[in-house]
Structure 1
C-alpha cells in the first residue's frame, strides 16, 4: 500500500515537473510580438515625425529598424510625446510602448516609482544646457535670475542640471519664479516677454538666429557634470519575453551610433537631424568644438553610470524620486556587449571615467556592469 502511494506521488511530481519544464520552455520561447513600439520623449517634428540629437533618430529616418524586422513580419511603431519623459513613463506604465528613448531624470523617476525597466545603452550624452533671455533683456548671468520669472521644463533631464547650476551660482529654485513649460510653450512665452528667461537645449539656437533671443549662458565646454544624458530603456517584461527582438533593436542603435560617431558624416548627420525641423545651423552650434564619437557613444561607461548615480542622489535630495534606485541593478549591458562584438566595435569608442576623462581600458571592459 505504501509502495503504491509512493509510486502515485512520484508519478504526480514527475508529471508536474514535466509540465513546469514545458511551461518554462514555452515562456522562454514566447511568440514574437506583432509590433515593436518605441516611445521618444519629445514631440519631434517633420514628416514623418522624427527628432534630433540622438543616433536613434538616424535609425528612425533611414528605417533601419523596419528593415531589421522585415523578414519576421514584425512592425515597428514610433510614438512621440510632447510631454517628454513624464509622458513616456505613463506610456510605459500602461504598456503602450516597449522601448523608450528618454533622459536620465525621468527614466530614474519611473524606476523609482516602480516601473520595471532596464537601461540598455546610452544614446546622446553630454547634452548642453543654455540660459536664454529676450533679445533686449538686461539679464547677463545666472546670478541675475533672483526673483525673475524663469521657464523650466520640470521632470525632464534638464531640471536637475538647472537646480545644480543655480546652486553653483548661489541660488536655489525658490529664489526664482519658476514656470513649468515645455519647449514650445517656453519659446512662445519668452518671445512675448511672458517670462524673463528660460533654460533649454539646442532648440533655442533657431530662436536666437531669428533675433528673438540671446543665449547668456552655456554649459558647452564646462564641467560635464552640468550636462544631460539620454538612453534607451526597455520594459523588463518585454525584454524577458522577447530577448531576440531586444537584441535586434540594440544592434540597430549601435549601428546608428557608429555612423553618427564618424566625423566624415558630420554634415550628413546634421542634415538627418534637421529633418526634425531644427536647422543644420543649430546642430552646428550645439556640437561646436565637440567630438561626435564622444557625444554619440552607446557605452554605459563610468561617466554615464556615474551621471545616473548622481541624478539618483540629487533627485532624492529634492524629493523628485520616491525611493533610491541602484543603478547597477538597473543597467543590462549584455545586449550592448553582444552588439559591439558582432559588429567588431569592442574597442571603437573611448570609455570615460566618472569625471568625464578618457580611460585607458578597452570599451568592452569598461562597458560591463
Structure 2
C-alpha cells in the first residue's frame, strides 16, 4: 500500500490527469490570470523567474500577483472573484466553502512534517502542551495553525475551550509574541523559522507526529470552469518549476529570497524541513479527498465551521479528452 508521499511519484508525470492532452480542444477566453500568493515556495520562484508569464504568453494571457499574509484573506479574495488562483493550507478552504465562496480544489501538495510550530519564550513556565491550559495562545483562525492547535491540544486531552485563543495573523502575532502579550504562538514557515532564530524563543512542539497534512492549490470556480486549460498549464508549469528547484536547494533559497525579501538562510531552513518538496503537486485522488473530508467533518462536529461540506463537490474536473 502506498503512503501519501509515495503517491507523488505515481503522479510526477500526471499532466494527462490534469487535462493537458486536451488543451487543443479548449476554448478558454480569459486574458488575465490573477494569482494570490504568500511569501515563499514555488510561487516565489515562478514570480521571480517569470515562468508563468512565459508559459501563458502564447495564449495572450497576462499574469498579475497579489500578496497575502495568510490563507483566509487570500481565499476570501478568491471566492469573491478578486483573484483567480492561489494556494493555502488545509483549513482555509473549509471556512471559504462554508461561507459560500466560489472556489474549487485544483491540486494538492503534501505539507512538510515539521513546517509549523508552537512557540513560547525561553523563560516561559509552559514546558509541555498540557501547560497551555489557561494560557493566551495566538493563531490565525481558519488557517492551518487552527488545525494544528486543535490536534495538539487533543494529544493531552484538552480543547480550545481550555485555552484563551487569540485570532491573530502573522503581522499582529509577531509583535505580540515579542512583547510578551501572548503566552504561545502557533505559526507556519517562514514566520516560524524567522521567530525561532531569536534566542529568547523556544519551540514547544512542531507539527511532526501531530499533523500530517496537505496544502491545496485552488481556483475561483467560475474561472476554472471557463478556462480549464489555462489552469492546467499553470499547474504543469508550477510542477516543472518546483521539480527543477529541488535539484539545488542553496540556489533555490537565494532565488526565493530575492522574491520574498526573507533572508536566504531562513529560506534555506524552510526548504530543508522534513519531507519538504517544491515539486510535489498532486492531482486530488481519493486518499487526498478523504483526508480533507475528514477534516471538514471534524471542524463541523467541533462547531468551528457552520455547516457540513462535501469536499468532492468542490474538486476541479480536468477537461475531458
- Measure how far apart 1:131 and its partner are: 1.1
Do structure 1's residue 131 and structure 2's residue 128 form an aligned pair? no
The residue that corresponds to 1:92 in the other structure is: 78
Q: 1:106 Cα deviation (Å)?
A: 1.2
Higher relative contact order (CA 8 A, sep 6+): 2
Offset at 1:132?
0.7
Cα displacement string for residues 100-158 of structure 1 (whole angstroms, at most 9, x for unaligned residues): 22222111222233223221112452463211112322221111111111111111122
* Correspondences of 1:171-186 after superposition (within 5 Å): 171-186=158-173
- Counterpart selection for 1:149 from 123, 136, 142: 136
The 1-side partners of 2:44 and 2:292 are apart by: 22
Q: Tell me, yes or no, if structure 1 residue 265 matches structure 2 residue 262.
A: no
Structure 1: distance between partners of 2:206 and 2:218: 28
Question: What are the within-5 Å matches in structure 2 for residues 1-369 of structure 1?
Answer: 29=27, 32-40=29-37, 42=38, 51-52=39-40, 54-82=41-69, 84-123=70-109, 125-126=111-112, 128-202=115-189, 203-220=191-208, 222-223=209-210, 226-260=211-245, 262=246, 264-275=247-258, 276-288=260-272, 290-293=274-277, 296-299=279-282, 300-301=284-285, 303-332=287-316, 334=318
Q: Secondary structure at the match of 2:234?
A: helix
What is the CA deviation profile of residues 265-315 of structure 1, one whole-angstrom value per residue up to 9, with x for unaligned ones?
22222223333233343344445462444x641113455333312221121
- Deviation digits for residues 28-68 of structure 1 (CA, Å, limit 9, x no counterpart): 736x223111122x4xxxxxxxx21x323321221111111
Unaligned runs of 5+ in 1: 1-27, 43-50, 339-369
Task: Say if 1:307 and 1:129 are closer, same or farther in 2 by CA, change over 3 A.
Answer: farther
Gaps of 5+ in 2: 1-25
2: CA distance, partners of 1:126 / 1:305: 18
Query: Normalised by the size of structure 2, how large is the TM-score?
Result: 0.82
Aligned mates of 2:160, 2:193 — CA distance in 1:
25
Alignment size in residue pairs: 292
Secondary structure at 1:158 match in 2: helix
CA distance in 2, matches of 1:287, 1:250: 20
What is the CA RMSD across the aligned residues, in angstroms? 2.5
The 8 Å contact of residues 153 and 159 in structure 1, kept in 2 or not, is answered as yes
